[in-house]
Amino acid sequence: MGRQYEIPIGAQHISLLEPLHFKFTTENEKIVATEANVYYVHRGIEQACCSKFKFRQVSFVVGRVCGLCSISHTTAYSQVAEKLLKIEIPLRAKYLRMLVIELDRIHSHLLCLSHVAENSGFEALFMKTMQYREFSMELLEAVCGNRIQYDFSIVGGVARDLKPQVAQSILERLKKFIPQLDELMDIYKNNWTLSLKNKGAGAITKEDAMRLNVVGPFARAAGLAIDVRNETEDLLPWKEVGFEMITETSGDVYARNMVRLRELYVSIRIIENIINGLPESALITETKAFPDGEATVRLEAPRGELFYYAKGNKTQILERLKIKAPTFSNVAAMAEAFTGNEYGSAPAIIASYDPCLSCTAR
Amino acid sequence: MNKVMTSIENLKKDIGDFYKPELHHFMVMNAVEVGDQIEVQWFFSDYAHPCDTTCFYTLVSPETEIPSIKDIVASAWVAEAELVDLMNIKVENTQKGFVLEPDFESGPLRKKK
């Protein structure tokens, strides 16, 4: 046995976007064990949602859980509140929620891909990916009014309608983005230097993904076909708008890149289908009821399964709200997938997990 | 949501009989205060019947130590550590200090009496 060293990464580190701490035990540059800590950003959001805010205000509070996937949080909360209120939202509101969720997925996946490139030492690709991502931020601003933390989903429906000129602009910008996405796909798929860094790095098997209950692109890259969009037709009609499950098999950083890139094509198709078939209806279902009973909702955020549990007591204040973010489900696998890898690959592996500690610690 | 009541004594047997990694996806644990007791919940979904959510639950007093299911569900240690920190419940072989710093006030999600 060689000499072992313990090397910390984080909570503040150049290769981490989020305050996450890993302690690697290494032997001859190979990682043999990993310890993780996630306790840096607990903000007491669940407690605030069950004490300070009325249930209709909570959708605006949970939108602040995460800057990257706030639409997933506001939509999941709105859905769980609608279950407690026993209301069905208008079809147009469902379509508009899906539209913003998919625009959000585009910007989130591109952000993750850019950081994998950066942490793999390919700075030019980082900049190119971020440059191409910009259009999705502009479209989100046009649809929702904000580039991030858009309070679009509200209890009962959505807060804004889609203007025809904005819908037209989305279709035009997506058309321009497709050749850019083809270019990115070619580089991430075929660039020799990048493949040296990413192929085989941080790999997990499908069996490990099942054993460790992994979710999102992390799971799908290992061949585990788990995507909530395939499963929750009762809340949002994903299959109606062209959802397709994307999986790879090698389970490494390269496969995670491929899953995210291929999912971008699916997101584009879903958005085009939504705009071309957007039903006419009201935007919101009004009710004067108060939440009663308990309910759960799952929703596919860009990083995977988002889970909300809510319990109401026929008052304005919820009895309990529980949020389970996708990264939370992946923590166990994240720690295991480092084992056997070179320490030098750790930054790219971390970025490929696309961890979100704002969501996880709440 | 299919809720299945269990007890501290039968918890590991019930979840052990139910959970198959190739069939079921463990989502999370949760705890809700019900009067002076705490309802502890374990949520699972089903890969083959994806809309089915199964929730095992048991009512315990706050002082009761909950058996860990880590040996049945390998990733459950994360959810157990979170509940120890946020709800100040006791889980077998689980220390504080994963979701909150070790010297943080215990159980910030518990209602103030």
In sequence order, what DSSP letters do the residues of A42-74 get, joined into one string? ---HHHHHTTTS-TTTHHHHHTTS-SSSHHHHH
Q: How far apart are CA A94 and CA A162, in angstroms?
A: 12
Among A residues 261-300, those touching chain B with beta carbons less than 8 Å apart? 294-296, 298
Residue of higher predicted confidence among A135 and A151:
A135
Residues A119-141, mean pLDDT to the nearest whole number: 92
B84 within a domain of the structure (yes/no): no
How many of the other CB atoms lie within 10 Å of CB of A138? Answer: 13
Structure tokens of A9? 């990464």
Give pLDDT, residue A9: 83
- Closest Cα partner for B81 from B35, B27, B28, B24? B28
Q: Which CATH class is domain A4-361?
A: mainly alpha
In tens, the pLDDT along A321-353 reads: 999 988 888 888 888 888 888 888 888 888 888
Domain that holds residue B9: 2-75
Q: How far apart are CA A19 and CA A13, in angstroms?
A: 8
B37 within a domain of the structure (yes/no): yes
Residue B96 contacts by C-beta under 8 Å, 6 or more apart in sequence? Answer: B84, B85, B102, B106
Which of B41, B74, B104 lies nearest to residue A212, judging by beta carbons? B74
Residue A256, SS3 per DSSP: helix
Give pLDDT, residue A142: 92
pLDDT band for position A234 (cuts 50, 70, 90): low
Inter-chain CB proximity A226 and B99 less than 8 Å:
no
B25 within a domain of the structure (yes/no): yes
B57 touches chain A (CB under 8 A): no
How far A232 CA sits from the closest chain B CA (Å)?
6
Burial of A249 by CB count in 10 Å (0-12 exposed, 13-18 middle, 19+ buried)?
exposed
Most confident of A185-189, A237-241, B17-21: A185-189
Task: Report which DSSP code applies to A278.
Answer: P
Q: How far apart are CA A309 and CA A120, in angstroms?
A: 38
Mean pLDDT of chain A: 88
Mean pLDDT of chain B: 87
- Closest Cα partner for A153 from A30, A63, A52? A63
Residue A302 contacts by C-beta under 8 Å, 6 or more apart in sequence? Answer: A68, A69, A72, A104, A105, A108, A109, A112, A216, A354
**Residue of chain B whose alpha carbon sits nearest to that of A361:** B99
pLDDT over threshold 80, residue A53: yes
**Residue of chain B whose alpha carbon sits nearest to that of A362:** B99
pLDDT band for position A218 (cuts 50, 70, 90): very high
Number of domains, chain B: 1
Chain B residues lying within 8 Å of A46, measured CB to CB? 86, 109
Chain B residues lying within 8 Å of A299, measured CB to CB? none
Interface confidence, given as ipTM, is 0.90
How far A174 CA sits from the closest chain B CA (Å)?
32
Residue B28 contacts by C-beta under 8 Å, 6 or more apart in sequence? Answer: A307, A322, A324, A328, A329, B43, B79
Give pLDDT, residue B113: 62
Give pLDDT, residue A308: 93
B13 within a domain of the structure (yes/no): yes
How far B69 CA sits from the closest chain A CA (Å)?
13
Inter-chain CB proximity B51 and A231 less than 8 Å:
yes
Ordered alpha helix ranges (H), chain B: 11-18, 76-87
B45 touches chain A (CB under 8 A): yes
Chain B residues lying within 8 Å of A213, measured CB to CB? 25-27, 73-75
Nearest 10 degrees: Cα torsion A98, A99, A105, A110: 170
Q: How far apart are CA A31 and CA B56, in angstroms?
A: 37
How far B100 CA sits from the closest chain A CA (Å)?
5
In tens, the pLDDT along A174-194 reads: 999 999 999 999 999 999 888
Q: How far apart are CA A144 and CA A130, in angstroms?
A: 21
Q: What phi and psi, each to the nearest 5 degrees, are found at residue B91? A: -125, 135
Give pLDDT, residue A233: 63
Q: How far apart are CA A166 and CA A283, in angstroms?
A: 17
- Closest Cα partner for A322 from B29, B110, B46, B104? B29
Residue B90, SS3 per DSSP: strand
B28 within a domain of the structure (yes/no): yes
B82 touches chain A (CB under 8 A): yes
In tens, the pLDDT along B20-47 reads: 888 888 989 999 988 889 999 999 988 8
Q: How many residues are there in chain B?
A: 113
B110 within a domain of the structure (yes/no): no
How is chain A split into domains, by residue range? Answer: 4-361
In the block, residue with structure tokens 């502009």: A138
In tens, the pLDDT along A13-44 reads: 877 777 778 888 888 888 888 888 777 778 88
In the block, residue with structure tokens 């919101």: A284
Chain A residues lying within 8 Å of B85, measured CB to CB? 39
B83 within a domain of the structure (yes/no): no
pLDDT over threshold 80, residue B50: no
How far B9 CA sits from the closest chain A CA (Å)?
25
B80 touches chain A (CB under 8 A): no
Burial of A276 by CB count in 10 Å (0-12 exposed, 13-18 middle, 19+ buried)?
exposed
